[in-house]
Amino acid sequence: MKVLEDLLYTKDHEWIKVEGNKAYIGVTDYAQDSLGDIVYVELPDIDDEFEMEDSFAVVESVKAAADIYIPVDGRVLEINEELEDDPSLVNEDPYENWMILVELEDKSQLDELMDHGEYEKFLEEEV
């Protein structure tokens, strides 16, 4: 499974890429592989506010629907509308195809997330 170096990760297989006070959020390669062919992505509205571990999106594969949880508190600045038209982009490249861009509320929450090394270890132990 592909894991990128400059991202932080959750145990639910979301990634977050921090850029100043903003961050891009998506699902990991492991998540897209476990889900299988993704046929539907439901994204939040711009300006929606979420608290850490709230479900902010739903990704559905042929077989099942999965909630996607936000790694930190945040307000939605942008959504990746391309995913609504072509959900399979998440399968093709889950890191390139982010789901939302948020404004961070509390950067100290990032300390609770895993870096790429920790996430790789977590994957090894879980799988």
Partner 1 sequence: MELKKTPLYDEHIKLGGKVVDYAGWALPVQYEGIMKEHEAVRSKAGIFDVTHMGEIIVKGKEALKYLQHIFTNDLSKLKKQQIMYTFMCYPDGGVVDDLLVYKIDEEEYMLVPNAANTDKDFKWMIDNKEGYNIILENVSNEIGEVALQGPLAEKILSELTKEDLSEIKPFYFKKDILVADTECLVSRTGYTGEDGFEIYTSLEGIKRVWNSILEVGEKYGVAPTGLGCRDTLRFEAGLPLYGHEISETISPLEGDQKFFVKLDKEDFIGKEALAKQNENLKRRVVGFELKGRGVPREEYEVYKNGNKIGHVTTGYFSPTLKKNIGMALIDSSEAEIGNEIEILIRKKPVKAEIINKRFYKR
- Phi/psi-derived region of residue 52, left when phi > 0, alpha when psi is between -120 and 50, beta in every other case: beta
Answer for which of 6, 84, 86, 118 binds partner 1 (CB under 8 A) is 84
From residue 21 to residue 60, the character string flagging contacts with partner 1 as x (rule: CB under 8 A) and all else as - is ---------------xx-xx-x---------------x-x
Q: Burial of 34 by CB count in 10 Å (0-12 exposed, 13-18 middle, 19+ buried)? A: middle
The single-letter code of the amino acid at 75 is R
Q: How far is the CB of 65 from partner 1 (least distance, A)?
A: 6
**C-beta atoms surrounding 59 within 10 Å:** 24
Task: Considering the complex, state which of residue 47 and residue 63 has its C-beta at the smaller distance from partner 1.
Answer: 63
* Binding footprint of partner 1 on the chain (CB under 8 A): 36-37, 39-40, 42, 58, 60-63, 65, 84
